[in-house]
Structure 1
Amino acid sequence: MIYALITLVVFLLMECVTWLTHKYVMHGFGWFLHEDHHEPGYPHVFEKNDAFFIVFAIPSMALFFLGTYTPQTYLFYIGLGILLYGIAYFLVHDVLIHQRFKWFKRTNNWYLKALRKAHKVHHKNMGKEDSQCFGMLFVPIKYFKEFL
């Protein structure tokens, strides 16, 4: 039970890590990697922005390894929380919002519609500065109101 709780807490904390990384790294010194993501109609299958996947995958893999081959089993479940958040991020951001894969084109769910709206507001500003809505799974309440 404690390991499930560790995994859940890490999953939830990853939203904070993602928000901070998005605002201060991707829209800061890492803009050179994130910039193509804000270009409309970017024609390639992969973006430079996809490199951030590695930034989050490396600690997760290291924690899986350490949690498997050392007595600190809880590290495995921290890595699992990061992995599960990464999967959720991929499904929400790349599949649902940007539709890089055409799996959920016609969703009518109020929560998913609010997520899409908040992300569209984020992309409304094409530049590095003055963006808003840096989170992924938790967005301001105002975006949910019109869909409830």
Structure 2
Amino acid sequence: MHGLFWNLHEDHHNKAHDFFEKNDLFFVIFALIAIGFFMIGNYIEGWGFMCYISIGITLYGLAYFFVHDIFIHQRFKLFKRTDNFYLRALRKAHKVHHKHQDKTEGECFGMLFVPLKYFKEAIKSQG
């Protein structure tokens, strides 16, 4: 997203955007890839490895949607009052990732695997 496909992801790092972003096209792209793997894999070999790749892509897309779009960015106001040190660390790491608005200076945060330094900050802020 911060390399070859920055042109789709860039508006996600700008605060002035509508509800829909060009970044949302990643859902469509990966959904089509997952559907293609499933259909081709099911046609060629029955329930084979291509279907499992499709399931993996789909599960990652669901995790991205729930964790990144719903929880972190609050595109749907569902989890506003979470008080868990892991979830606070996750939000802090993503906030640091968005601190810079260009593609080269953003810090990698890991979508589910948060760097240890953010856990330490989350524990400090809890006490």
TM-score greater than 0.5 by the shorter chain: yes
What amino acid maps onto 2:14 in structure 1?
Answer: E
TM-score when normalising by structure 2:
0.85
What amino acid maps onto 1:34 in structure 2?
Answer: H
RMSD: 1.7
TM-score when normalising by structure 1:
0.74
Distance 1:35 1:75 in 2: 31
Q: How does 1:71-110 map to 2 (within 5 A)?
A: 71-73=45-47, 74-110=49-85
Q: Which residue of the partner structure matches residue 3 of structure 1?
A: none
Could you tell me which runs of 5 or more consecutive residues in structure 1 were left unpaired when the two chains were aligned.
1-25
Matched residue SS, 2:2: helix
Structure 1 residues 118 and 134, CA gap change in structure 2 (3 angstroms) = closer
Same amino acid, percent of matched pairs: 60
Could you tell me which runs of 5 or more consecutive residues in structure 2 were left unpaired when the two chains were aligned.
none
Cα pair 1:39 1:126 within 8 Å, conserved: yes
Aligned pair partner of 1:40 in 15, 33, 39: 15
Distance 2:97 2:91 in 1: 10
Matched, 1:57 2:41: no
Number of residue-to-residue matches in the alignment: 122
Q: Which residue of the partner structure matches residue 145 of structure 1?
A: 120
Distance 1:81 1:32 in 2: 25
Matched residue SS, 2:25: helix
Structure 1 residues 72 and 92, CA gap change in structure 2 (3 angstroms) = same
Structure 1 residues 145 and 134, CA gap change in structure 2 (3 angstroms) = closer
Deviation at 1:41, TM superposition (A): 4.1
Aligned pair partner of 1:116 in 91, 111, 115: 91
Deviation at 1:134, TM superposition (A): 4.7
More contact order relative to length (CA 8 Å, sep ≥ 6): 1
